[in-house]
Amino acid sequence: MTEEGIKLYTADYVSLGLQDGWTRLFDTLPEKDRERIGRYRFDADRIRGTLGAAMIRHFACEAFPGEEIIIERTEHGKPYLYGHEGFEFSLSHSGDMVVLAVSGKPVGADVEIVKGKDWRMFHRFLSEEEMKMIETSREPEERFFEVWTVREAFSKEEGQGLRILDETFEVDYNHREIAYKDKTLYFDTMSYTARENGYKISVCSPLPFKGFFITEVKTCTEYMRMMT
């Protein structure tokens, strides 16, 4: 069985004008979300957290109109929609970008802006083969972010956080498969540009899938209307 494609919703909070007006969207969120986001130290994190929470609720409202939308978290912090196991999602953000993956099966997504990290600092999380693959690449920074987003997406799909990266698993970058315990997971990676910024996005799923269906969020007006 193969999924036709993973739904990806992308949003650049600067393009949406939220760097100044994000509190209007923040005020539409439930108290639990506002308390969690309010603990973030920096405004950029609060803006991304607000936008991500709004995106989850918006598309959940579309999928289940008229129903109460309750977002809970597992013991390892993975968010899920209470009472609707067939609505799976994964949220990630980096730079000015927020990405939401939605699927009928468990899914993990990660986005990273391609700049500003010394990838050698992450060597303990990478295999010898991955280090060699990065070092011999014509664009090592690009290659690193491909590798890193795949690993993050895998950890999110499994819902265990980065602790899983210390376990034994094998990543096949040619066939885009991950062998973990007694199962095979599947992933894909893409490059994405928002304004002048370049990003890497990776998604991991227990089912093979045929690429992505990408929707760019261009306004928050509808989000506010649905949640008030």
State how far the Cα of 112 lies from the Cα of 93, in Å rounded to an integer.
Answer: 7
State how far the Cα of 30 lies from the Cα of 61, in Å rounded to an integer.
Answer: 14
Torsion of CA 122, 124, 125, 129, to 10 degrees: 100
pLDDT digits 0-9 by tens, 193-208: 988 899 999 999 999 9
Helix (H) or strand (E) holding 120: none
Its pTM stands at 0.91
**Domains of the chain listed by start with CATH number:** 6-226 (3.90.470.20)
Residue among 96, 87, 93, 102 at smallest CA distance from 6: 102
State how far the Cα of 124 lies from the Cα of 220, in Å rounded to an integer.
Answer: 40
pLDDT digits 0-9 by tens, 10-63: 999 999 889 888 998 999 899 999 999 999 999 999 999 999 999 999 999 888
User: How confident is the model at residue 21, as a pLDDT?
Assistant: 82
- Give the confidence band of 223 by pLDDT, cuts at 50, 70, 90: low
State how far the Cα of 25 lies from the Cα of 85, in Å rounded to an integer.
Answer: 27
Residue type, 109: A
